[in-house]
């Protein structure tokens, strides 16, 4: 009698008789995809500590200024308060920077933390992505270690990094200095690195027009190359057996059955995954609603890609909806010193990046609500640091680790509030200081049932301690 579990785990050869018995399962309303799904479900069994939640970490690399974002200090001296003016929000007596009118209108769906500080003043540091956990692994890698590298229901990778290149824009960050810090796995295996899709335009294709979906041929090819296939090792092995058996069999009816089963398997293992990454599957009006294609780069600035951010956020929504647990969205360039052309002023920087962020985030918030995903997806917006109260150069601000912008949306947490406050000049927290450990604990608490996970006997004690210790930001619960 065929023992499916034994063969699948042992990776030994499937005999012709066994193979035909697998095929005959189709007569009993079973199929190869069913078998594969059962194997994935078995691997997932016992993970009762997983919540049905996803996290999108929107990382503003370069150090976004707290004054020009969500803590503008309109009553501070002129040399300190925001350089671009303020806009009232839907929350009484709460103001945002003037480049955020759409987010201001949705402030009741946000939780703004004004007493958060990373203590970090360096770009070449993964402090926020790692949130200072002792493993030295980014939070998405820890999620993948505990949840599995792929979703058992859909095969979608559980840890994905979306750079501008994922939606067809040229990577502009030299040496990937920013994205690389969203990829490190520390003491964990490299298999828990994020999938980082790259979408290339079709050869000799014309430039894309605003709101036109990306060319997908390059995406499909690159996705197949960039998802490490060892992550699907068991199922890939079974498909290889199918290919081998197919060459050996010559009965027409059997070949037809093989074709059917192989097609079902391919659809489950690849097509659904690729579809989730393929923005052309979205209605044109949805693409247009998110699109920031019409926005320009900074004058003389080749690192900022605000045009990509709308589609990056749309891709994040698609992946979460398909079952991905942790998506990092990389946005650059927020390093506005005002000292030279490549380090522009606050005014020049925010007049470009501000509207793109405002549009992309507001489109995301509206979309996830309309699709019933608001409780299931937690959006976290932050950067590696904030900016100095006093100016620098020609209208810029220097690095500042004593206060850092931090905003949450969705995830079933308490929205429509400002948590904590900064001092009069926006230099440090004036109420309880929330740091990286609080951010880490909040995200882990969203993704995992920390009581249930403590009972798991087969998880490394160090990993359990990291995930279950620490205090989330209390006001969110």
pLDDT digits (tens, 9 = 90+) for 229-263: 444 444 444 445 445 544 554 444 444 544 554 55
- Is residue 10's pLDDT more than 80? no
What pLDDT shows up at residue 37? 53
Q: What is the DSSP string of 308-338?
A: GHHHHHHHHHHHHHHT-SEEEEEEE-----S
What pLDDT shows up at residue 172? 55
Cα–Cα distance for residue pair 279/211, rounded to 1 Å: 11
Q: What is the DSSP string of 113-161?
A: ESSB------SS--HHHHTT-TT---HHHHHHHHH-SB-TTT--BSEEE
- Is residue 125's pLDDT more than 90? no
- Residues 200-222, mean pLDDT to the nearest whole number: 41
Tokens 């976004």, residue located: 64
Least confident of 109-118, 150-159, 214-223, 377-386: 214-223
Cα–Cα distance for residue pair 294/307, rounded to 1 Å: 7
Which pLDDT band holds residue 302 (cuts at 50, 70, 90)?
low
What pLDDT shows up at residue 198? 82
Which pLDDT band holds residue 457 (cuts at 50, 70, 90)?
confident
What pLDDT shows up at residue 171? 58
Which pLDDT band holds residue 61 (cuts at 50, 70, 90)?
very high
Residues constituting the chain: 477
Least confident of 61-75, 80-94, 224-238: 224-238
Which pLDDT band holds residue 287 (cuts at 50, 70, 90)?
very high
- From residue 367, how far is each of 155, 214, 268, 297, 371 by CA, in Å? 24, 20, 26, 26, 6
Q: 149-199 pLDDT, tens per residue?
A: 888 777 788 999 999 988 988 755 544 566 888 999 999 999 899 988 887
Q: Count CB atoms within 10 A of the CB of residue 36.
A: 21
Which pLDDT band holds residue 222 (cuts at 50, 70, 90)?
very low
Cα–Cα distance for residue pair 287/305, rounded to 1 Å: 17
Tokens 């030279």, residue located: 340
Least confident of 293-297, 456-460, 470-474: 293-297
Least confident of 3-17, 42-56, 388-402, 416-430: 3-17
What pLDDT shows up at residue 414? 98
What pLDDT shows up at residue 25? 38
Cα–Cα distance for residue pair 281/346, rounded to 1 Å: 37
Residue 125: strand, helix, or coil: coil
Cα–Cα distance for residue pair 354/295, rounded to 1 Å: 11
Cα–Cα distance for residue pair 448/411, rounded to 1 Å: 12
Residue 261 class from Cβ within 10 Å (0-12 exposed, 13-18 middle, 19+ buried)?
buried
Instruction: Give residue 91's Cα distance to chain centre.
Output: 28
What pLDDT shows up at residue 337? 92
* Cβ neighbours of residue 170 closer than 8 Å, sequence gap 6 or more: 164, 305
Consecutive H or E run containing 417: strand 417-419
- Top mean-pLDDT range of 273-277, 382-386, 454-458: 382-386
Cα–Cα distance for residue pair 311/214, rounded to 1 Å: 9
Residue 380: strand, helix, or coil: strand
Give the pTM: 0.81
Cα–Cα distance for residue pair 337/399, rounded to 1 Å: 8
- Residues 400-413, mean pLDDT to the nearest whole number: 98
What pLDDT shows up at residue 344? 85
What pLDDT shows up at residue 210? 45
- Residues 44-54, mean pLDDT to the nearest whole number: 83
Per 3-state DSSP, what percentage of the chain is helix, strand, and coil (rounded to 5)?
45, 15, 45
Cis amide leading into 421 (omega within 30): no
By C-alpha distance, which of 2, 405, 281, 330 is closest to 162?
330
Cα–Cα distance for residue pair 83/73, rounded to 1 Å: 10
Q: 386-404 pLDDT, tens per residue?
A: 999 998 888 999 999 999 9
Mean pLDDT of the chain: 80
Buried b (16+ CB within 10 A) or exposed e, 220-251: bebbeeebeeebbeebeebbebbeebeeebee
Cα–Cα distance for residue pair 316/339, rounded to 1 Å: 34
Which pLDDT band holds residue 43 (cuts at 50, 70, 90)?
low
Query: Angle at CA 96, nearest 5°, toward 80 and 370?
Result: 160
Share of residues in the chain with pLDDT > 70 (%): 71
What pLDDT shows up at residue 16? 45
Consecutive H or E run containing 111: strand 110-113
By C-alpha distance, which of 325, 269, 315, 260 is closest to 292?
315
- Is residue 99's pLDDT more than 90? yes
Structural domains present in the chain: 14-43+231-280 (no CATH), 46-213+282-476 (3.40.720.10)
Three-state secondary structure string covering 184-220: CCCCCCHHHCCECCCCCCCCCCCCCCCCCCCCHHHHH
What pLDDT shows up at residue 30? 42
Instruction: Give residue 190's Cα distance to chain centre.
Output: 18
Consecutive H or E run containing 285: helix 284-290
Residue spans of beta strands (DSSP E) within 352-405: 377-382, 386-392, 396-400
- Residues 440-459, mean pLDDT to the nearest whole number: 93
Greater pLDDT, 250 or 73: 73
Which pLDDT band holds residue 447 (cuts at 50, 70, 90)?
very high
Which pLDDT band holds residue 472 (cuts at 50, 70, 90)?
very high
Structural contact between residues 361 and 405, judged by C-beta atoms closer than 8 angstroms = no
């Amino acid at each position: 009698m065929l023992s499916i579990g034994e063969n699948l785990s042992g990776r030994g050869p499937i005999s012709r008789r066994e193979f035909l018995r697998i095929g005959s399962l189709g007569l009993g309303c079973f199929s190869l995809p069913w078998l594969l799904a059962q194997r994935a479900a078995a691997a997932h069994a016992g993970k009762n500590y997983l919540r049905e939640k996803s996290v999108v970490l929107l990382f503003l690399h370069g150090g976004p200024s707290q004054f020009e974002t969500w803590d503008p200090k309109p009553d501070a001296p002129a040399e300190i308060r925001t350089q671009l003016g303020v806009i009232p929000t839907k929350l009484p007596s709460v103001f945002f920077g003037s480049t955020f009118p759409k987010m201001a209108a949705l402030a009741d769906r946000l939780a703004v933390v004004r007493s958060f500080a990373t203590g970090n003043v360096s770009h070449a540091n993964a402090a926020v992505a790692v949130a200072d956990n002792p493993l030295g692994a980014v939070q998405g890698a820890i999620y993948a270690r505990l949840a599995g590298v792929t979703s058992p229901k859909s095969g979608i990778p559980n840890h994905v990094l979306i750079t501008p290149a994922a939606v067809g824009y040229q990577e502009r960050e030299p040496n990937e200095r920013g994205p690389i810090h969203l990829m490190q796995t520390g003491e964990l295996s490299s298999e828990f690195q994020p999938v980082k899709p790259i979408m290339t335009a079709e050869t000799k294709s014309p430039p894309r027009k605003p709101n036109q979906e990306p060319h997908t041929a390059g995406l499909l090819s690159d996705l197949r190359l960039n998802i490490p296939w060892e992550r699907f090792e068991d199922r890939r092995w079974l498909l290889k057996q199918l290919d081998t058996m197919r060459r050996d069999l010559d009965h027409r009816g059997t070949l037809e059955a093989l074709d059917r089963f192989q097609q079902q398997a391919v659809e489950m293992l690849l097509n659904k995954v690729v579809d989730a990454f393929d923005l052309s599957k979205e209605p044109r009006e949805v693409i247009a609603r998110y699109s920031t294609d019409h926005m320009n780069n900074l004058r003389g600035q080749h690192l900022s890609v605000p045009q990509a951010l709308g589609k990056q956020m749309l891709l994040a929504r698609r992946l979460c909806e398909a079952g991905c647990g942790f998506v990092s969205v990389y946005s650059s360039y927020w390093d506005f010193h005002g000292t030279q052309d490549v380090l522009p002023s606050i005014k020049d920087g925010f007049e470009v990046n501000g509207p793109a962020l405002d549009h992309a985030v507001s489109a995301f918030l509206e979309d996830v609500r309309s699709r019933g995903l608001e409780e299931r997806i937690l959006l976290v917006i932050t950067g590696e640091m904030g900016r100095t109260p006093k100016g620098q150069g020609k209208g810029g601000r220097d690095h500042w680790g004593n206060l850092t912008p931090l905003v949450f949306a969705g995830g079933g947490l308490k929205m429509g509030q400002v948590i904590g406050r900064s001092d009069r000049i926006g230099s440090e927290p004036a109420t309880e200081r929330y740091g990286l450990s609080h951010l880490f604990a909040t995200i882990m608490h969203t993704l995992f049932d920390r009581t249930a996970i403590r009972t798991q006997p087969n998880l490394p004690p160090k990993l359990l301690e990291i995930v279950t210790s620490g205090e989330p930001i209390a006001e969110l619960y």
